[in-house]
Amino acid sequence: HTPVVIFPYPEFVATFGQAPSCGEFLKDGSAADIADAVQRLLGDTDTWRRKALAAHAAVKDFTWEAYVARFVADLRAAEDRSA
């Protein structure tokens, strides 16, 4: 398991929150920013472990089957609205 290091784009924030327990948000996405985030995680084994487990738990329901089911449901809903 691995914690995430990610820029806080709107869809991610909407899904996982403003301060995700599953990793580190980047400030500007520069190489130094990425290195700092990774070093923060690598520098604290307990934080790494906690955020890695949280990341795994956060995405356990994001399977292809679940994605396809949501996609098909959205398509059907759109079709119903246009009918």
Indicate the pTM of the whole model: 0.71
Q: How much is the mean pLDDT over the chain?
A: 92
pLDDT in tens, 43-56: 999 999 999 999 99
pLDDT in tens, 60-69: 988 999 999 9
Nearest to 59 by CA among 12, 7, 8: 12
DSSP state of 22: T
Residue with tokens 């089911």: 69
